[in-house]
């Protein structure tokens, strides 16, 4: 492979060889292409990094199966205090979920009283 003989500037030879071997492996290439296609259809980008939303929820001190807090955890993953929402779609989804929650809460309140 021609690329393997010319390491990219700033990358060690062993790291470059590892990268080239990965991209030469058909199963790795297939997985990379599948991930790229999945990224294309995302409506918004999460701020989760490598941690799942469920793990963020637990790290906030809320039990995963608790009936409260999931909406707030979701908001914290898609809203930045300085930059705002990651996308218009994420904000719209949050507002929609809050609206449904308010309707359910009011309906329950009216039925109790």
Q: What is the pLDDT of residue 30?
A: 92
Q: Determine the length of the chain.
A: 113
Q: What is the pLDDT of residue 68?
A: 66
Determine the pLDDT at residue 2: 76
- pLDDT reported for residue 36: 86
This model's pTM is above 0.75: no
Tell me what pLDDT residue 92 has: 92
State the Cα–Cα distance between residues 32 and 28, nearest whole angstrom: 6
Secondary structure of 4-64 as H, E, C letters: HHCCCCCCCHHHHHHHHHHHHCHHHHHHHHHHHHHHHCCCCCCCCCCCCHHHHHHHCCCCC
**Which stretches in the chain have pLDDT values below 50?**
none
């Amino acid at each position: 492979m021609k690329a393997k003989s010319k390491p990219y500037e700033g990358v060690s030879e062993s790291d470059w060889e590892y990268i080239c071997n990965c991209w030469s492996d058909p199963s790795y290439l297939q997985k990379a292409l599948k991930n790229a296609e999945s990224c294309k259809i995302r409506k918004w980008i999460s701020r989760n990094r490598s941690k799942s939303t469920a793990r963020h929820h637990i790290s906030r001190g809320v039990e995963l199966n608790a009936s409260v807090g999931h909406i707030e955890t979701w908001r914290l993953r898609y809203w930045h205090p300085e930059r705002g929402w990651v996308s218009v779609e994420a904000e719209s989804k949050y507002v929609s979920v809050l609206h449904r929650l308010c309707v359910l809460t009011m309906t329950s309140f009216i039925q109790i009283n």
